[in-house]
Amino acid sequence: MAATDVLSGALSEAEHSAQLRKAVIASTVGTTIEWYDFLLYSIVTPLVFGKLFFPKSAPLIGVLEAFAIYFVGFVGRPIGAFIFGHFGDRIGRKAALIATLLITGLATFAVGFVPGYDSIGIWGAVLLTVIRMIQGIGVGGEWGGSVLFSMEWARTNKHRGFITSWPQLGGPAGLLLANMAVLIGSAIAGDQFFAWGWRIPFWLSIIMVGIGLYIRLGILETPVFRKIVAEERVERVPAIEVLRRQPKQVFLSMFARTAEQAPAYIFLAFIFTYNTQVMHMSRDFVLTSLICAGLISFISIPLAGALSDRFGRKRVYLIGSVLTGIYGFIYFALLNSLVPGLIVLAIILAFIPHDIMYGPQAALIAEGFTPRLRYSGTSIGYQLASLTAGGPAPLIATALLATYGSGYVIALYIAVCAVVSIIATALMPDYTGADISQESA
């Protein structure tokens, strides 16, 4: 009997398959909740936070200041990756994932209670900054663990791209729920959305945390981690050790995400600023368009993951990077037409090149790290891109719009991001279909 079978309690094929399904569901539900929490801030920032916390600033400057607080969450993500990567490789994937869910969810719930500038002055922005940092730390440890929970319960080497693409659905699912929650808050509050309606989506997050916690408490630790413990190969300081042993994989993972991260936050967060300054469509029009885009991602992400199992991670990922670099110019041309149908088309199509990268991304990154350092390496490499690409993107896009008044300059920025990803991805190893269960020395 194989060691992993013994360490997973000598599970039968049916029992193992059941655990794999539970792990995939728990990972996907968990990432959905985490991304709902994180992306909700992305949506509300340009709609509310500039006016609420920086009312004395000019409108575009107020949005820039609010996006600066938004960026703080991205600073917290690599910190969370180091912290929870360490504990995920030391005490287990399950414990780390429960902690990240609680931290992020409670921080999001707290945002709904932060007073605006009219009540406590600048201290409202200070409180929001602290909460945003805590939220970012929680999200920073979530993704790596969710991916590993799915991947390390899989017995096959042939379908890892497809299996690990399911936790990636947490992104569009979270975006979908966040947009719907804002629409609900808008419908309930009406003209009072700015006064108090924006708080409703943040308060709703506590219900989702309870659901996610219930699901995650019911899953078993992965056989891979149990084997590491049984063989006494647990690293003392895995987050430091992975930077010493596999620094190239960490930083290539970071740069490979540039074309996925920066454009994504332009498409889902900066779009509201561009709407205010250029398109002048209703808030609900843009929110509904983003919901439609999220629905398409439920198909395109797992499809891209499955295609990477057939044609290779790097090949599929490179195609997505090239398409992203080209699409930025098409995107702003469609938005600038001011034709509602073309604007909807622009928003919906924007996430398809992104999804072609996002589907195989989890397997592409995680497969490159040795099992005992995998939580740390996967999390750190992934979340550093949040600091270098995702976080600054709305700030950079807003600053470019304020300076040049043109979306095509932002499209050029997206193209540069694509070039960075193409180079990094070309230099990464491809472990499609390979056995990645063995520890390196």
Interval 113-132: pLDDT, tens: 999 888 998 898 899 889 98
Interval 191-245: pLDDT, tens: 888 888 889 989 988 988 888 888 888 888 888 898 899 988 899 999 999 999 9
Task: For the domain covering 11-238+245-427, report its CATH number.
Answer: 1.20.1250.20
Q: What is the pLDDT of residue 321?
A: 98
Q: What is the pLDDT of residue 187?
A: 86
Instruction: Parse the chain into domains and list their residue ranges.
Output: 11-238+245-427
Top pLDDT among 74 and 166 is at 166
The 3 state secondary structure assigned to the chain is CCHHHHHCCCCCHHHHHHHHHHHHHHHHHHHHHHHHHHHHHHHHHHHHHHHHHCCCCCHHHHHHHHHHHHHHHHHHHHHHHHHHHHHHHHCCHHHHHHHHHHHHHHHHHHHCCCCCHHHHCCHHHHHHHHHHHHHHHHHHHHHHHHHHHHHCCCCCCCCHHHHHHHHHCHHHHHHHHHHHHHHHHHHHHHHHHHHHHCHHHHHHHHHHHHHHHHHHHCCCCCHHHHHHHHCCCCCCCHHHHHHHHCHHHHHHHHHHCHHHHHHHHHHHHHHHHHHHHHHCCCHHHHHHHHHHHHHHHHHHHHHHHHHHHHHCHHHHHHHHHHHHHHHHHHHHHHHHCCCHHHHHHHHHHHHHHHHHHHHHHHHHHHCCCCHHHHHHHHHHHHHHHHHHHHCHHHHHHHHHHHHHCCHHHHHHHHHHHHHHHHHHHHHCCCCCCCCCCCCCC
